[in-house]
Amino acid sequence: MRTIFDDLEAKINQEEEKKGGSKTLPIVLWFVALAFIVATWGVYRWVISRPALTPPPPPVSLEDVRQVAQAFAKFNRVVQDDNWMEAQNMLSMAAIQRLTSTGKTLKQSILGDRASDKVVEAASTASGDRQPGRVHQDCVYKFADGQFKIIPLALIMENGRLVIDNWEQEGVEEKPGDKKPGEKK
């Protein structure tokens, strides 16, 4: 025989089955939550272990003092290393045309009568000036015999790179102290 309590208990069980749904659902939800936490931790570890992206190089500009100094220093280093082919690659197209029209090599054109001597030290001096589209810098080349020669270099921007355009003094008169012994004026 069934009692009222048995009927009530059966009715409660039926309602729980309708209301509660599956008994495995909470376990599945816990596994999904754990998988999400593990995946988030894995992505976090992957992101912090990757090296940072290098910033893009600054655009080439004559206004950037550092880039200009590096261009002059590179040219001087190439001259000092006696690598004149690399130095010629650092010239502008107009400078290369002027060089071919004179029929001289770059070494002969820059060093003049000292072209046969070895440059032991090359450096930029503190003197120089800026004009629109051009930077002038005096560079001193020291030779093995202790003598030195000051060459004014002009740097311009051509095809997105800094190049040497001129190395001749424009409108500079020869000083009396520049006269060689035994030479008449």
Per-residue pLDDT tens digits of the chain, which is 185 residues long:
667 667 777 777 777 666 656 667 778 889 999 999 999 999 999 999 998 888 887 788 888 889 999 999 999 999 989 898 998 899 999 999 998 998 888 888 888 888 888 889 998 888 888 888 899 999 999 988 888 888 899 999 988 889 998 887 653 433 334 444 444 43
pLDDT digits (tens, 9 = 90+) for 25-60: 778 889 999 999 999 999 999 999 998 888 887 788
Q: Give the CA count within 13 Å in the CB-facing half-sphere of 15.
A: 6
pLDDT digits (tens, 9 = 90+) for 80-95: 898 989 988 999 999 9
pTM for the predicted model, two decimal places: 0.62
Residue 25 token pair: 């659902």
